[in-house]
Structure 1
Amino acid sequence: MAKTRKPGTRFGDWLSDRILRGLIGLALALPYATRVRLMGWITARIIAPLAGYDARVRANLAHVMPDLPEAEVRRLVRQVPDNVGRTVIEIYSGQQFIDRIKDLPLKGAGVAALEQARADKRPAVLVSGHFGNFDVPRAALTGRGYPIGSLYNPMKNVFFNAHYEKAIATMGEPLFPRGRKGYGQMLRFLKGGGMIGIMVDQFMGHGAPLNFFGQPAPTALSAAELALKYDALLIPIYGVRQPDGLNFEIVVESPIPHSDAMTMTQALNDSLEAQTRKHMEQWFWVHRRWKPARQARMAEERSRAGRGE
């Protein structure tokens, strides 16, 4: 049975979208560097406190890094949403943004393997997380003729999602929305020698019990499973924001060796953790990545089922 919306929720979504549309429109009227800095400031100083993001960042940090100094926690409470705001307006800046990143050099131990896969028309699964600006590698590679498709989660706010999809499409197509239809389209694209971009840093209730920052973080195995099934390279890749807050470095790491899906996916988690530890403010600490209370409930339910209760 379909879930019914709570009264007023649809109007709330519409109103939120109108506010965001207006804010984005005003920002786009400003010079590029000014708009990026301003959206970072507004998101960190106004939106994040109102949305409860400050508390969520603190809770996540306390869960995985309880000894982190309070001064560093306060810095991340402001800098994490700042990066989010910058990322959003960069994506909405379309061609202006693309022109800034399209000629960035690819750096890292995996560049040669990526280039060879393109030459051989070998499938590749490019894996990143909600880190830096995750659309930088996709836009830069698409601009160079790489066949890049991307799996994404449609926004829950349907009003916002309508123009968000158009914005991310400017970074490169095709796009595959999560779901049976989108997944089928993605498989055909991959089997045909395409490369797909996937982010694997969200909580998945039925995911594998892998670790992220030393704590259990249920993780989807799909990226590794696709690489194994279609003999595709599995390559971690990142768009790392530079100290000036405006420019980026594209880091292509060595392909994850094929073994089994759990081992390969843990290697992906380890890769993202290593990048995050270098640039703590660039990962989306707002995510409910661990959900320890929910994990405890799930473990108790499994235990009861095992006891036949």
Structure 2
Amino acid sequence: MTEPTPADYVRPKDIDNRATFWQRVQWRLETVAWDLVYWGPMKALGPDKASDFGGWLMRKIGPALSQHKTMRRNLRLAFPDWDAGRIEETALAAWESAGRTAGEMPHLPAIDPYTSGRVEVVGLDVLDAIRESGNGAVFISGHFANWEIMPAAITKRVPSAVMTYRALNNPHIDKRIADLRAAYGTQVNAPKGIGTRELMRALSRGAPVALMNDQKFNEGIPVSFFGHAAMTAPGPTRMALKYKVPIVPVSTVRTGPARFRVEFHTPFVPEDTGHPEADIRRAVEQITAFIEAQVRAHPGQWFWQHRRWPKEAWRDAGVS
């Protein structure tokens, strides 16, 4: 197997192989709706108006979706001292943030981190030092604000960097998003499920990799997140230890419609004491503490819609 090039589109084949005839028909219909109902109208609005409209729309319809109950539970678990009004307002802000992200998606090429004037990049000395070292690094972040901005801030400065992403079930929409990311500057993507070997190959040749490390991972290790055990992926830490490279935390904050601040924080090298499990846990805890601090700073800009904690955490905390 050859190394992926910027033009490559890599996709887990098992997603398509499992599809029935009617599933494939549904994919086609979804793609038509994607183009006509979502992509075309949002593209016509321009980045600021699309961001505003997407945020307004999701703030209206989000509370009617099943994920709203999950968001409330998550927020009550994370912030037990908050009253119902603050919980609800933060949930609405999170819906707005997700809607803005959707509205901004067609306009990503116009939100260039370095030329558009829409993105402030902090910590470029950290990023440039990684590039100049030629030794690679593991960038970690979470689903903050518009999480598509951070990868481009990396790859436009360090073109050899490899990003991970979660492939969509619909191959036609998945390809459209992959092409958009390539146009935006995030050209080399390793889909979860088949991307681990690509990440390891990248690190072995001195190229950085970037991963999200804030979502539930059932095969992970339990570490404290807002005071409750949350299953967390140890993969980024394992790779940093294996290839002896630093972990670089990255945050993204929305500062306005289609405007952001991306910050590269102080790198750290996971301690290697010869006790792998303890070393991994210590670094995963450090990453999770970083994620938590960013969420606390901007709670309305994180993706609360997913089940970060097991149901037992809700039950034990008396959250219904």
TM bin (shorter chain): 0.7 to 0.9
Tell me the equivalent position of 2:111: 97
Alignment correspondent of 2:90 = 76
Residue in structure 1 matched with residue 308 of structure 2 by the alignment? 289
Q: Give yes or no for contact 1:256–1:264 (8 Å, CA) kept in 2.
A: no
Distance 1:101 1:271 in 2: 29
Segments of 5+ residues of structure 2 without an aligned counterpart are 1-13, 272-278, 316-320
Computed over aligned residues only, the root mean square deviation of the Cα atoms, in angstroms, reads 2.8
Match of 1:276 among 292, 295, 298: 295
SS of the equivalent of 2:247 reads strand
Contact 1:148 1:194 in 2 (8 A): yes
In 2: Cα distance, 1:99 partner to 1:273 partner: 25
Aligned residue among 60, 66, 90 for 2:74 = 60
Match of 1:140 in 2: 153
Indicate conservation of the 8 Å contact 1:132/1:238, yes or no.
no
Structure-2 residue corresponding to 1:34: 49
C-alpha displacement at 1:17, in angstroms? 4.6
1:264 paired to 2:283 = yes
Identity of aligned residues (%): 26
Deviations 1:143-181 (A, max 9, x none): 23442210111123444323222223333121001123x
Q: Give the distance between the partners of 2:260 and 2:18, measured in 1 at CA.
A: 43
Cα displacement (A) at 1:16: 4.7
Instruction: State how 1:93-172 maps to structure 2 within 5 Å.
Output: 93-98=107-112, 104-108=119-123, 111-171=124-184, 172=186
Unaligned segments of structure 1, at least 5 residues: 297-309
Deviates more, 1:96-105 or 1:66-75: 96-105
Matched, 1:189 2:208: no
Deviation at 1:214, TM superposition (A): 1.1
Q: Which moved more, 1:152-161 or 1:199-208?
A: 152-161
In 1, Cα distance between equivalents of 2:209 and 2:18? 34
CA distance 1:210–1:13, shift in 2 (3 Å)? farther
State whether residues 125 and 196 of structure 1, in contact with CA within 8 Å, keep that contact through their aligned partners in structure 2: yes
CA distance 1:4–1:196, change in 2 (3 Å): closer
Residues 102 and 143 in structure 1, CA contact (< 8 A), matched pair in contact too: no
Higher mean alpha-carbon deviation, 75-84 vs 269-278, is at 75-84
Structure 1 equivalent of residue 253 of structure 2: 240
Q: Could you tell me how far apart the structure 2 residues matched to 1:65 and 1:8 are? A: 44
| Change in 2 beyond 3 A, CA 1:4/1:138 | closer
Show the counterpart of 1:49: 63
Instruction: Give the whole-Å Cα distance in 1 for the aligned partners of 2:58 and 2:28.
Output: 19
Taking the aligned partners of 1:15 and 1:294, their CA distance within structure 2 comes to 39
Distance across 1 between alignment mates of 2:18 and 2:249 = 39
* Residue in 1 that maps onto 2:40: 25
Q: Distance in 1 between matches of 2:310 and 2:180?
A: 30
| Preserved CA contact (<8 Å) 1:126 1:195 | yes
Give SS of 1:248's match.
strand
- The 1:217–1:10 alpha-carbon spacing in structure 2 relative to 1, beyond 3 Å, is farther
In the alignment, the residues of structure 2 paired with residue 99 and residue 265 of structure 1 have an alpha-carbon distance, to the nearest angstrom, of 28
* Residue in structure 1 matching 2:263, options 243, 251, 262: 251
Q: 1:36 to 1:118 in 2, by over 3 A?
A: same
Task: Describe the superposition over 1:172-192 as per-residue Cα deviations: whole angstroms up to 9, x where unpaired.
Answer: 121001123x22122111211
The alignment of Structure 1 onto Structure 2 pairs a total of residues equal to 291
CA deviations on 1:77-102 (whole Å, 9 max, x unpaired) are 21102111222332321321226766
Counterpart of 2:131 in structure 1: which amino acid?
Answer: R
3-state SS of the aligned residue for 2:112?
helix
CA contact (8 A) 1:206 1:218 kept: yes
Q: Deviations over 1:102-132 (max 9, x none)?
A: 6645325xx5343222112111110001112
